[in-house]
Amino acid sequence: MNKKTFLGIMLVVLVPVLLYLVMKEVSKDAIEMPRHYIFDSVATREEKGKLVTDTVWHQLPEFNLTNQLGQQVGWKDLEGKIVVANFFFTRCPTICPQLTKNVKLLQDNIKSSQKIGSREPDFIHFLSFSVDSERDSVHNLKRWADRFQVNPENWWLLTGPKKEIYDLSINDMKLGLVDGQGIDTSFFHTDYLVLIDRNRNIRGYYHGLDTTAVAKLSRDIIYLYLEKDPKRKSAFAGKFELLAVTALLTIAGLFLLFYVLKRNKQ
């Protein structure tokens, strides 16, 4: 093995490994993934002499509600999707119209985002739960949807049993609901937008009337889209460091072999 061959092997093997390690460190600092909220339990166990914490994050329960098209829908129809949820009612004259407009802008921006590479993304879905189910019939939801040009393909306005919707908001999403700001105190709603990942875990709360918060939500949706599903691990998951060490040992072995052969020739 001559010197040029050896250097060629080093470039082919070592450079990709170094690039991977550098990019891995850079990506840790460059992207701050949306954190998890609300856990059901935390358990500590010992693994290889170290304490490891296992957290079971709260998974939002199944629901069965009616959308603006009169269809019965639930989480089962949203499998594998990232969801943005909010609460409103069609008679609301205060925060709800502007909140819906901001969600519409968010929907349009993600739709045309070059980062995603698709003008009709199928990974994101919007849910607007009515807190006035007695008055918000399918007809009224459809009228509200038409007013704000809501695309039913990835945005549902939902109505159904009031207890089910309020339980989802207060008990599962832990939203601190406020009253109708003096307009109608018999209905409770909030301007929060809730980001929910593919596993139905809450990953963020954002004030829907704050354009800065909505912009952050838009970025966090992209990050969740890029996030690897922990339930679907790659064949190389957790093995890149081992591959890197193996490559370096291989190079060291080749160097030693090259040195021995050179000594023998002399």
Per-residue H/E/C for 209-247: CCHHHHHHHHHHHHHHHHCCCCCCCCCCCCCHHHHHHHH
- The answer to whether the beta carbons of residues 82 and 219 sit under 8 Å apart is no
Fold designation for 56-226? Glutaredoxin (3.40.30)
- The verdict on pTM exceeding 0.75 is no
Q: Residue 48: its pLDDT value, please?
A: 81
Cα–Cα dist 47/28, whole Å: 24
Name the residue ranges covered by the structural domains of the chain: 1-33+237-266, 56-226
Q: Residue 185: its pLDDT value, please?
A: 45
Cα–Cα distances in Å, from 158 out to 107, 119, 162?
17, 25, 11
Q: What is the pLDDT along the chain (266 residues), one digit of tens a residue?
A: 566 565 555 555 555 556 555 555 545 445 689 999 999 998 888 888 888 888 999 999 999 999 999 999 999 999 999 999 999 999 988 899 999 999 999 988 886 554 555 455 789 999 999 999 899 999 999 999 999 999 999 999 999 999 999 999 999 999 865 444 444 445 567 899 999 999 999 999 999 999 999 999 999 999 999 887 655 554 445 555 555 556 555 655 656 666 666 666 66
Q: Residue 34: its pLDDT value, please?
A: 94
Helix (H) / strand (E) element for 188: namely none
